């Protein structure tokens, strides 16, 4: 299982458990235990959000670097070398747009 799917599964489980402990007052548990569970599930959910956001920003940064390098090829002399670089970077940029 890839990391994203694993974190999504953990997130779904934590959300379900968080709801159970946060709103089900009929459980035979102490308030401190309930608070510990709620705090822990919320922490894990926040941590997963952080990593998803980090992944999203990583893609944006990668795309920005590819775009910058594509722009920098204008400094090269016209020719096969420049055309090869442009073709590869343009393909990568297209792949990034397809996955969006």
In the chain, domain spans? 3-98
pTM over 0.85: no
Contacts of 38 (CB under 8 A, 6+ apart): 18, 21, 22
Tens-of-pLDDT digits for all 100 residues of the chain? 799 999 999 999 999 999 999 998 889 999 999 999 999 999 999 999 999 999 989 999 999 999 999 999 999 999 999 999 999 999 999 998 886 6
Cβ–Cβ under 8 Å, residues 43 and 23: no
Q: Is 41 exposed, middle or buried (0-12, 13-18, 19+ CB in 10 A)?
A: buried
């Amino acid at each position: 299982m890839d990391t994203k799917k694993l974190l999504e599964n953990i997130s779904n489980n934590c959300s379900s458990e968080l709801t159970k402990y946060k709103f089900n007052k009929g459980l035979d548990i102490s308030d401190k235990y309930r608070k510990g569970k709620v705090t822990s599930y919320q922490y894990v959910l926040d941590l997963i959000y952080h990593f998803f956001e980090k992944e999203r920003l990583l893609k944006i940064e990668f795309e920005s670097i590819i775009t910058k390098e594509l722009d920098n090829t204008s400094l090269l002399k016209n020719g096969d070398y420049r055309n090869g670089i442009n073709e590869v970077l343009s393909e990568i940029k297209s792949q990034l747009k397809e996955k969006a």
